[in-house]
Amino acid sequence: MKRDRIIGAVLLVVALSAILGLALIAVFIFREGVPIILRVGARKFFLSTDWEPSLGHFGILSLMAGSLVVTVGAAVIGLVFSLGLAIVLTQFSPPGLAAAAKPLIELLAGIPSVVYGFVGVVTLVPLIRHFLGGPGLSVLAASIVLGVMILPTITSIAIDALQAVPRSYLEGSIALGATRWQTVTMVLLRAARSGLVAAVILGMGRAIGETMAVIMVAGNALAVPHSLLDPVRTLTSNIALEMGYASGDHRQALFATGVTLFVIITLLNTAALAASRRRAGRRRAK
């Protein structure tokens, strides 16, 4: 019993240390970033596109727009391929193939982001420039690269969500005369909707926080994009590109950008957690 209590206390300390570390990071970021937002004004900071730190202008609207379009584009691309993979592996593949393919897909998450960015610069950007026009470094290139990067996250969660649907739902649908594809589209996807929503939200959280690959393929232009072929700069890219030489208000403005990212990712994770809990609640009710 004494040994169990000691082990429990050690595990509790480890868990609390992780929470404490996250809390300290949050306090530090907010302490450094919030004062500049209050001094400049939330309206000018969030609703202005004028980012010129040397002149005292700190508007991040173009950066927020860039992050939004790239993240949404990545989520759309990632969802299409991830959902297709999840459906094929859970419904139309032999169990052995599905068991072997899932770990291979998850291995994609272990590839460094700089590798994705390098492949994007070498192959994807020239293709976009040649066939679609523009500089090649664009919203489209960043969305495709991020869509591939979040593929393992969305696919893994989508597979778990689809496998969690009771077998009786599928058998009942087929017994009523529905085809296999009708069962998938009209029963399986609807029953797993909460889990699929959580998968997409978590994928978006991963995409919006990515830095290196986006820097390499997005073009890093300080302007609101009006086309998928326009270059763009995201919130994370701006921090990485300018933190090395920033000082004073400029440095605080970059921390304020970090505060914005922190809030956005927290909201996305909260929404994903709520969707997962709603799915778990429905499962218990059934």
pLDDT at residue 260 in the model: 93
Judge whether 134 lies within some domain. Answer: yes
Judge whether 124 lies within some domain. Answer: yes
Judge whether 13 lies within some domain. Answer: no
The CATH number of residue 72's host domain is 1.10.3720.10
pLDDT at residue 281 in the model: 59
Residue 164: pLDDT band (50, 70, 90) is confident
Which of the listed ranges 73-82, 191-200, 273-282 does the model predict with the highest average pLDDT?
A: 73-82
pLDDT at residue 8 in the model: 83
Judge whether 232 lies within some domain. Answer: yes
pLDDT in tens, 150-160: 999 899 989 98
Mean pLDDT score across all residues of the chain: 89
Judge whether 14 lies within some domain. Answer: no
**Predicted TM-score (pTM) of this structure:** 0.88
pLDDT at residue 1 in the model: 66
Give the burial class of 283: count Cβ atoms within 10 A of its Cβ; 0-12 exposed, 13-18 middle, 19 or more buried: middle
Segments forming the whole domain that contains residue 81: 35-285
Structure tokens at 38: 């209050």
Asked if 222 and 51 touch (Cβ cutoff 8 Å), the reply is yes
Percent of the chain residues topping a pLDDT of 90: 49
Judge whether 11 lies within some domain. Answer: no
| Confidence check: pLDDT of 198 > 70 | yes
**CA torsion, ordered 150, 103, 112, 157, to nearest 10 deg:** 20
pLDDT in tens, 217-238: 999 998 899 999 999 999 999 9
pLDDT in tens, 23-60: 998 999 999 999 999 999 999 999 999 999 988 899 99
What gap in Å lies between CA 178 and CA 186, rounded to an integer? 9
pLDDT at residue 138 in the model: 94
Judge whether 93 lies within some domain. Answer: yes
Judge whether 279 lies within some domain. Answer: yes
Q: How many independent structural domains does the chain possess?
A: 1
